[in-house]
C-alpha cells in the first residue's frame, strides 16, 4: 500500500543518514506523543537545526502555557489586578514559582539557537531570528515579573 511503512527501505536510508540501527528495531512508526523524540537519533547536515526547532517549539509552548496560566488560568496577575493592586501577595508568590525555570529555559534556548544557527546562517540572520522568535517571550516574562512585584508592594497607608 502507498504510504505504508516498509522494512525493505531501512537499508537504503540507513547509511546515508547515519541512523542508529536500534532506531528501527521497534517496528513500524506509530503516532504517539513521543514519536518526535525518535528523530533525535538522526545525524545529517542540518540535524542540529532540526533538533533546535523541536526544542524551540517545546520551550515556547511551555512559556506560553505558563504566561496563560498566570494571567488567565489562575488570573492572579492580570492587567486589572496590577492597576487596582488587587491580589494577595501569597498568590503572586505561588504563581511565580515556575517563573525562573521558564525564563532560564528561554535564555538557554537563545544560547543554543545562537550556536546552532551560526553554523548555517550569518550573525545578522541569527540575531533577527532570535529577536523575532524568542525575545518577545523573554520580554513578556520580565514584564510579568515586574508586574508581580508591583502588585506585592503596598500602595495605600493602612
User: Which residues, in sequence order, are CB contacts of 115 under 8 Å at separation 6+?
Assistant: none
Least confident piece of the model among 3-17, 114-128, 143-157: 3-17
Report CA-CA distances (Å) from 29 to 2, 36, 51, 128, 154.
Answer: 15, 10, 19, 36, 57
pLDDT at residue number 18: 57
The stretch 19-24 carries a mean pLDDT of: 52
Please state, rounded to an integer, the average pLDDT across all residues of the chain: 82
Each residue's pLDDT tens digit, 47-63 = 899 999 999 999 999 99
The stretch 73-97 carries a mean pLDDT of: 89
Predicted confidence band at 27 (pLDDT cuts at 50, 70, 90)?
very low
Is 89 in contact with 152 (CB distance < 8 Å)?
Answer: yes
Q: Residue 70 carries which DSSP code?
A: I
Is 147 in contact with 82 (CB distance < 8 Å)?
Answer: yes
Distance CA 27, CA 24 (A): 6
User: Which residues, in sequence order, are CB contacts of 140 under 8 Å at separation 6+?
Assistant: 67
- Residue percentage of the chain with pLDDT more than 90: 54
Which triple of cell numbers denotes residue 57? Answer: 517549539
The stretch 131-152 carries a mean pLDDT of: 95
Domain boundaries, the chain: 1-39, 45-152
Predicted confidence band at 41 (pLDDT cuts at 50, 70, 90)?
low
Q: Is residue 94 pLDDT above 80, yes or no?
A: yes
Amino acid at each position: 500500500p502507498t504510504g505504508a511503512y516498509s522494512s525493505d527501505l531501512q537499508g537504503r536510508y540507513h547509511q546515508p543518514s547515519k541512523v542508529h540501527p536500534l532506531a528501527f528495531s521497534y517496528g513500524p512508526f506509530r503516532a504517539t506523543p513521543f514519536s518526535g523524540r525518535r528523530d533525535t537519533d538522526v545525524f545529517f547536515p542540518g540535524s542540529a537545526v532540526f533538533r533546535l526547532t523541536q526544542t524551540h517549539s517545546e520551550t515556547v509552548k511551555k512559556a506560553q502555557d505558563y504566561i496563560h496560566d498566570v494571567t488567565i488560568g489562575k488570573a492572579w496577575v492580570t492587567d486589572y489586578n496590577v492597576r487596582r493592586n488587587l491580589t494577595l501577595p501569597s498568590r503572586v508568590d505561588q504563581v511565580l514559582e515556575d517563573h525562573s525555570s521558564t525564563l532560564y529555559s528561554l535564555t538557554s534556548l537563545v544560547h543554543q539557537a545562537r550556536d546552532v544557527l551560526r553554523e548555517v546562517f550569518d550573525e545578522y540572520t541569527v540575531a533577527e531570528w532570535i529577536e523575532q522568535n524568542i525575545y518577545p517571550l523573554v520580554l513578556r516574562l520580565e514584564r510579568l515579573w515586574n508586574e508581580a512585584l508591583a502588585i506585592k508592594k503596598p500602595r495605600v497607608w493602612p
